Structure formats: C-alpha cells, structure tokens
Amino acid sequence: MASFPLFCDFPVELQLAIWALALPDLEPEVCIVWPLQIMNFPIADEEPALPFTVDTAWPAVAHVCRTARQVAHTSRALRLRHSPNAGFAVPYRHFIPAIDTLYWGRNQAEAMYTFLLKPENASFARELRQIAVEVAGTYPHDQLANIIRQRAVYLKTLSFVLPSTQGSHSTTLSFLPPARRCRLRHIPSSSWDEVKLARVTFLRAGERVPMPLREYLDKRRRDMEEYVRGFNVQREEGTAWISRNGGGSFSGVDIKAQTFVEYKTTVVENNRQQEQWAEVCQNRLLGGFELQDAAAPHPRRIAVAKRKNPEEYRVLDDDSAWWSAEEFKLWLQQTNFSFDQEWYRTN
C-alpha cells in the first residue's frame, strides 16, 4: 500500500475483494488422525475425533493490515485454535480430501478400517485421494485392500511411512508422528534398495532377514491385489483398481515411501532465525506390547469424554505426554490385555 496510497480510499467492499484475490492457493497438508491411540479392543467402536483438521501457515497477506487480516480469517484457508505448546492461537483449516493426505498409525489402524468401511462414511472415503499409513499399521494387507477397493475407490496415492529415510526399520515397531506442524517427504526410489525393513510380518520367522524397501513395497502391492482377486472384492466404479481380462490390479494407485519432516526454526549467526523441515520421528519410537518393552514410550489413550474439540484446541499438543512404564503396565492390567510371549518372540 505504500506504493499505492489511494488504496485506502477505495470502498471497503472493493478492498475486501482485492485482498481476497491476494490470498494464496491452498497448500496440500497432512492430517494426522487423532487420538493417536484409538481402541477397538477391548473398548468397542471408538472412532477418530471429528472434524479432521490440518495445521497451516499464516498467509503473508494476514500480516499486511487489519482489512487483509479480516479477509484471511473469514476464508476457508485460515481458522484459529488454541495451542498450549505455542501459548497462543495458531492457524488451521478443515481437511480437504481432494488435496490433503490422511495419515494414521498402528494404534489407529483397526479403528480407521472400521470407520472408513461404515456406510455413513462412504462419501467421505470416495473423496480421498491421498492416504498415508505407518508401516507398522499396514498389516494385515487385506484391510488396506478392502478400504481402497470398496470405499476409497478414487485413491491416487498410498504412502507407507517410515520413521526416517535411512537405515533399517522394524515393521512391527511404531513411532509417534511429529508434535508440531509437519509434512510428508518422499523417500526417493534411488534409495529403496539401501533402506531395509526388518521383522517383516508376512514372512515366516525363520525367513525374516532384512528386506530392501523396494522389494517390500512390491510385495505389499501384490498381496493387496491377490486378496482382491482371490476374494472377488467387487466394485463397479473408481480409478484405483484397473480391471482387465477378468483380473485387475491397483495400477491406478501410486505406492510411495515417505517420512515425516517437522517445521523448525533455529537461531543462527547474528540472532537470525533459520527455518527448515527436519526429520524427527527416529527420535519418537514407541514400545511394542511385549512386557520387556513396557518401559518404552506408548501413546496415551484419551477417553472419549476427555477429548477436546479439534476446532478450538490443537489436540496433538496433548500427545506430547506419553504413558510412563507404570501407567502402561496398569493399563494392561485394567483391560485384561493378554498376549503370548512366545508368539511375539517368533512372529
């Protein structure tokens, strides 16, 4: 406005219209399903908190003047909710299935499978274009195959999410997603032969040598396709499953490997702030259900009655508190959760 001083003399309606045109296009974001622990057993039919939301950045136009900020706040691109970690209101918007990615982890997989297959959620699932799932939450393969073939029939991308882009990763070990605003970064196909996966669930115990990521992704695709063919899972519509000569495949779905990166600012020379997206999940690994892992972190279950409204409160801030070893053991006792130690040693 300094270069166009007459702008302030325009009618307010015209100023609002101009600022609305200055708003940037919506950026694709990732929606992390919450709570991070959703129990289908022994507590039946728990569901994710709705509505699904995504963190966003402040649009630059919101910092120009009061009128521009008013336009930004009334658009669908920017809403505010309280963040206890930040100490002030932070921007968010509702999840948009056409551009955003819906992510869930191992401790939510059963609940999301049930949620997406419910008839009342069919229209939502049809709109999904990008799904990302923690590798530890992708077994058994029939769940993802059913979701895509029966409900998310127009899905374009299915991502298997690892805690980092390097090294070897157990397919049975879970991790917490970032606590701050984050994105999913592709693991380039050029490194798929170098990244290894251990304790691969679809192999017999004696065959479980580390498997290259490329081989793992190919096998997961084949397993899902064989399930659809073997159980004759039919659907007349959609682009994810391509039928041909009485058979078919998920050739309409691009299968990728990704990892989370979290937005961070660091102070560098001359007290300048440097912004970057950094991998953090390799430092947020969780324990399994084996007794010997009870001392490792576990996501805290938040009872339905205690869940806050995700439109008013940044609920992911609460998941920075993990169960202690004693709390986890107490939960196992209270829920009468039982497991076979020998099974976990050999599977």
pLDDT single digits (tens) 170-220: 888 889 899 889 999 999 999 999 999 987 766 554 456 788 999 999 999
Q: Between 207 and 270, where is the model more confident?
A: 270
Q: Are 314 and 83 in contact (CB under 8 A)?
A: yes
If you average pLDDT over residues 111-119, what whole number do you get? 94
Residue whose C-alpha is closest to residue 78's, from 57, 64, 97:
57
Angstrom CA distances, 116 to 119, 123, 180, 240, 332, stand at: 8, 10, 26, 16, 28
- The pLDDT-based confidence of 340 (bands split at 50, 70, 90) is very low
If you average pLDDT over residues 96-124, what whole number do you get? 95
pLDDT at residue number 341: 40
- In this predicted structure, the answer to whether residue 240 has a pLDDT above a threshold of 80 is yes
- In this predicted structure, the answer to whether residue 346 has a pLDDT above a threshold of 50 is no
If you average pLDDT over residues 73-99, what whole number do you get? 90
300: Cβ contacts below 8 Å, ≥ 6 apart: 36, 37, 318, 319, 321, 322, 323, 327
Domain ranges of the chain: 1-26+57-84, 33-52+95-346
pLDDT at residue number 44: 54
With left for phi above 0 and alpha for psi between -120 and 50, is residue 310 left, alpha or beta?
A: alpha
If you average pLDDT over residues 150-178, what whole number do you get? 92
Pick the most confident of 92-96, 227-231, 315-319, 343-347. 92-96
Per-residue pLDDT of 16-45, as tens digits, reads 888 888 888 889 999 999 999 887 655 557
Least confident interval from 3-7, 9-13, 39-43, 223-227: 39-43
pLDDT at residue number 283: 85
Residue whose C-alpha is closest to residue 169's, from 178, 177, 160:
160
pLDDT at residue number 34: 94
- In this predicted structure, the answer to whether residue 255 has a pLDDT above a threshold of 70 is yes
pLDDT at residue number 331: 58
pLDDT at residue number 191: 93
What is the pLDDT of the chain when averaged over all its residues?
83
What pTM value is reported for the model? 0.85
If you average pLDDT over residues 59-73, what whole number do you get? 82
